[in-house]
Structure 1
Amino acid sequence: MADDTDKPMTSQAEIDAAFAAAAAAPIPDLDDGTDDAAAAAPAERILNQDEIDSLLGFDVNTDAVQDKSGVRAIINSTLVSYERLPMLEIVFDRLVRLMTTSLRNFTSDNVEVSLDNITSIRFGDYLNSIPLPAILAVFHAEQLDNYGLFTVDSNLIYSIVDVLLGGRRGSSAMRIEGRPYTTIERTLVQRMIEVILQDMVQAFEPLAPVTFQLDRLETNPRFAAIARPANAAILVKLRVDMEDRGGRTELLLPYATLEPIRKLLLQQFMGEKFGRDSIWESHLATELWSTTIDIDAILDEQTMPLNKIMNMQVGETLLLNASPESKIELRCRGVPLLRGRMGRAGTSVAVRVEEAIERTDASRAL
C-alpha cells in the first residue's frame, strides 16, 4: 500500500480553476419542491431603526421629561432620586382650588384649573425642555431662603392678554413668531403670577407659613438658573382653560427649597384640615388656661453634708444667705419661671414679680 505522503500536492492553478467552476455553476431553483436543508433554514431577521430606538430608549417624538424605557431608563434610573412627599400633593391640590377662584376673579371669565401631574426631574433637563417662546418667573421663598420657577407658555400668555384687554370670544390667540413680548404682555403676565403666588401662600399656610415674592421675569432659560443642572426638583404641570382659550403653566421647586419643611411634607394626610382639629385645639387651650399648678418660692439654696443633716436636732437654726433685698426665684416642678422680691401684702407674705427667666435647653428637658 502506498503512503499518503507520496500523493502530489494540489497546485495553485488547480485551486483557481475549482473556484472558477463553482462560480460559473448555475444556481439551483429552490421552488421545485426539493428537500434541501439550506432552503428550509429561516432567513436572519434584522432590526429596523424604530426597534433599535425603542430598545435603547430613544424617541425623538416624545417629551424629554417623560419616563424613558429600555437601556436609557437603566442608565438614568439613579440620576434623579424622587422622594414621595404626601403633604406636598395635598398642598398642590389646595393650590388648584384656590387658583380656580382667584383667576376667575382676576379675569372675570369662566376659568378651570387642572393638575396634570407631579414629577421629579433634574433642573438642567427641565431648562432644556422648556418650549420657547415663554415667560419664566423667578420667585423667592423668604422663610425657606431659596427660589422657585414659574413657566408660562405662549398660549396662556396670549389668552390672558386677550381676556384682560377684551378680545373676542371664539377666536384663538394669534401667535407671532420671532417677536419679543411687549411691556403690556409682560405686565399682564406679572399680575397673573402675583395672584398665583398669593394663592401659594394660602396653600402652604396650614402646613408652614411661607411668603413667596416675585423676583424677576425672564424670557431666556439661561438667565433663570436658580439651581445646579444636576440638582433634583419637583415639577408641577397645571392646565388653565378659559372656555375656548387657555394654556399651560409649570411650577418648579428644587428639593433644596423644600428641605427646611421636608419633615412636615413627609407626614401622612389625615383630613381636610391637614391633620388639625380646631374644635379640639380650642378645647385644649381652654383647659390649659384653667389648669392649677403649684409655684415654689425659693429663698436660698445650700449644699450641706449628709451627716450634718442626719444629726440635726429640734430647735437648731439654719442661716440663709439672703437679705430682705435679695431676689426670690419662683419655680414650677423644678423649672425656673420668674424672679421677684419678697415683701408683705396685708397680713400675708408676698412676692412681687420683677422679671421672667429665659428658659434654657436644660430647663426645657425637665
Structure 2
Amino acid sequence: MGDILSQSEIDELLKALNTGEIDVQQMQDKDQQKKIKVYDFSRANKFAKDHIKTLHIINDTYARLITNFLSGYLRNLVQVDVLEVQPMSYYDFSNSIANPAILAIIDFNPLAGSIIFEMDPNISFALVDRILGGKGSSLEKVRGFTEIELAIIERIIIQMLNLMREPWENVLELRPRLEKIETNAQFAQIISPNETVALITLRTKVGEEDGFINICIPYIVVEPIVSKLSTRYWFSNIEKTSTKETKEDIENKIQNVKVPVRAVLGSTSLSLGDIIELQAGDVIPLETSVNGELKVMVGDLEKFKAIPGVRKNKVAIKITSIVETEVE
C-alpha cells in the first residue's frame, strides 16, 4: 500500500501537473516498463520452489531416521538435521568438495541414473573411531582412508541407504543400491558439469564432532517423477494411504494384542492393626455376596460382569453382562 499524501502534498502535486513540471504520460510509461531479470541459460534452474520444498520434507523424515539409527548403532548421541536444500550446477558441487572425501555413488533404482552421497571426513573418521571402540573423535590431521576404514564406512552407508526407502514411499518405491565409493571428486563425474542438481545438506553431529552429509540429486535422474515432487501430490498421496484396507490391517493387529484379564472375587477394607493381628485360619468377609456378580477387569478397566464356577475341574467364570463405559 502506498504512502498517504497530506493535503499540502496533494496541492503541490496538482500545481506541478498544471505547470507542466510533471508529465503524466512519462509517469505511466515508466510504470509500464517491464522489469528485466537476469537469467543464465548455461546454469538453468530446473527445480521449482515446490520441488525444493518437497525434497526438504522428504529429507526431514530421512534425517530423523538416520538420527535414530546412528544413535542406536553407535550407542552415542547423534543429531542429523536438514540444513539446506538448494539447486546448483554439478560443477559448483564437485568444486566444493575437498579431498579426501567419502563419495558414495548410488544407483537410484528404479530411476535411471545415479546420485551422490557425500560424507564429511570429520564425520567419517568419527564413525569409524566409535565403531572401533573409541569415543567418536575425528583426526586432528586429515589423511586418506585405509581399506579397513572404507569397508566400515561402506557397511554404514548401505544401512543408511536402506532407510531412504521410507521417506520416498509416497513418491515411488525406491530401491537404492551402492555402486562404489570414491575418495576423490575427479572420479565421481556422474553427469555433465552444467547439469542442474539439488543439493541436500544434512548437518550431522556425532558426539562432539560436527560435519555435513550432502546428497546430490541430478535433475535428469528425477525428471520422470518431477511432477510428483510437489507438496500437493505429497499430501494427497498421504491421505490416500488412509484407506479401508489400512484401517482393517490396524484393527487386525490390535485384535492380536495381549492384555491382562482378571476376575475380582471381592474387596474389603482393614485397618493396619487388624492386618498385623491376622492368624492362619482367620476369615475375612468380602463385600461381594455369595450369589453376587464378580467384576472382570481388562487391564485397569471394568469390562464385564461374571459369576464364578467350575469347568472341567478348573475354576472358571461365566460372563453375564458387558459393562458399557462412557468415552470422555
Question: Which category describes the TM-score, using the shorter chain as reference length?
Answer: 0.5 to 0.7
Deviations 1:60-84, CA, capped at 9 Å, x for gaps: xxxxxxxxxxxxx957587231322
Q: With structure 2 as the length reference, what TM-score do the two structures score? A: 0.58
Cα distance in 2, alignment partners of residues 275 and 201 from structure 1: 19
The residue number in structure 2 matching 1:162 is 129
The residue number in structure 2 matching 1:145 is 112
SS in structure 2 opposite 1:138?
strand
Cα distance in 1, alignment partners of residues 116 and 240 from structure 2: 30
Q: 1:175 to 1:187 in 2, by over 3 A?
A: farther
The residue number in structure 1 matching 2:85 is 118
Contact 1:158–1:175 (CA<8 Å) still a contact in 2?
no
1:260 maps to 2:260: no
SS in structure 1 opposite 2:67?
helix
Cα distance in 2, alignment partners of residues 198 and 153 from structure 1: 20
Deviations 1:231-271, CA, capped at 9 Å, x for gaps: 00000001121231242110000001111211111242665
Q: In structure 2, which of residues 45, 48, 64 is the aligned counterpart of residue 83 of structure 1?
A: 48
Amino acid in the other structure paired with 1:263: S
Mapping 1:45-56, distance limit 5 Å: none
Cα distance in 2, alignment partners of residues 183 and 91 from structure 1: 33
Contact 1:133–1:153 (CA<8 Å) still a contact in 2?
no
1:221 maps to 2:188: no
SS in structure 2 opposite 1:92?
helix
Cα distance in 2, alignment partners of residues 271 and 259 from structure 1: 20
Amino acid in the other structure paired with 2:194: A
Contact 2:55–2:85 (CA<8 Å) still a contact in 1?
no
Relative contact order, CA 8 A, sep 6+: which one is greater? 2
Aligned-pair RMSD on alpha carbons? 2.6
* Residue 153 of structure 1: how far off its partner (Å): 1.4
1:204 maps to 2:168: yes
Q: In structure 2, which of residues 31, 56, 63 is the aligned counterpart of residue 96 of structure 1?
A: 63
SS in structure 2 opposite 1:187?
helix
- The number of residues matched between the two structures is 210
Cα distance in 2, alignment partners of residues 209 and 217 from structure 1: 24
Q: In structure 1, which of residues 192, 198, 203 is the aligned counterpart of residue 156 of structure 2?
A: 192
1:237 maps to 2:201: yes
Deviations 1:251-310, CA, capped at 9 Å, x for gaps: 0000011112111112426659733342456589xxxxxxxxxxxxxxxxxxxxxxxxxx
- Structure 1 runs not aligned, ≥5 long: 1-72, 285-366
Deviations 1:297-349, CA, capped at 9 Å, x for gaps: xxxxxxxxxxxxxxxxxxxxxxxxxxxxxxxxxxxxxxxxxxxxxxxxxxxxx
Q: 1:280 to 1:225 in 2, by over 3 A?
A: same
Q: With structure 1 as the length reference, what TM-score do the two structures score? A: 0.53
Cα distance in 1, alignment partners of residues 228 and 235 from structure 2: 15
The residue number in structure 1 matching 2:273 is none
The residue number in structure 2 matching 1:300 is none
* Residue 137 of structure 1: how far off its partner (Å): 0.6
Q: 1:116 to 1:267 in 2, by over 3 A?
A: closer
Contact 1:87–1:268 (CA<8 Å) still a contact in 2?
no
Structure 1 runs (4+) deviating above 3 angstroms are 73-78, 269-273, 279-284
Identity of aligned pairs, percent? 27
| Higher-Rg member (1/2) | 1
